[in-house]
Homo-oligomer: A and B are copies of this chain.
Amino acid sequence: MEPVNIIGVGMTKFGILDDSILELAKNAVFEAMEDSSTIGAQFDHLFVGTQNPDEFVSRGHLSTVLVDVLGLVPAGATRVETGPSSGSSAFEAAFTVVAAGMADLVLVIGVEKMSEVDRGTASRILAKMMSFENESRYGATPTALAAMIARRYMHDYGLTRDELSLVPVKAHRNGAKNPLAHFQKEITIEQVNTARTVADPLTLYDCCPTSDGASAVVVASDRAVKEHGLADRAIRVLGIGHGTDYLAVQHRLSLTSMNATVVAAEKAFKMARVGPQDIDVCEVHDAFSILELVNMEDIGLVNRGEAIKAVREGLTEVSGSMPVNTTGGIKARGHPTGATGVAQIRDIVMQLRSEAPKGLQVDVPNIGLTHNIGGFGNNIVVGIFQRR
Contact = CB atoms under 8 A, between A and B. Distances in A.
A260 B92 CA distance: 24
B125 A60 contact: yes
A64 B375 contact: yes
Nearest to A243: B74
Number of chain copies forming the complex: 2
A1 B247 contact: no
A245 interface: yes
Interface string A66-95: 011000111111111111000001001100
A78 B89 contact: yes
A359 interface: no
Nearest to A240: B102
Interface string A125-146: 1001100000000000000000
Contact of A72 (B52, B128, B244, B375): B244
B99 A379 contact: no
Given A1-B100, A54-B52, A244-B72, A129 B60 contact: yes
A383 B96 CA distance: 18
| Cβ-closest 7 pairs across A and B | A76-B242, A60-B128, A100-B100, A99-B100, A79-B81, A74-B263, A68-B247
B73 A246 contact: yes
A52 B128 CA distance: 14
Nearest to A86: B79
A63 interface: yes
B77 A79 contact: no
Contacts of A241: 76
Contacts of A278: none
A61 B375 CA distance: 8
A182 interface: no
A56 to B, nearest CB: 10
Interface string A345-380: 000000000000000000000000000001100110
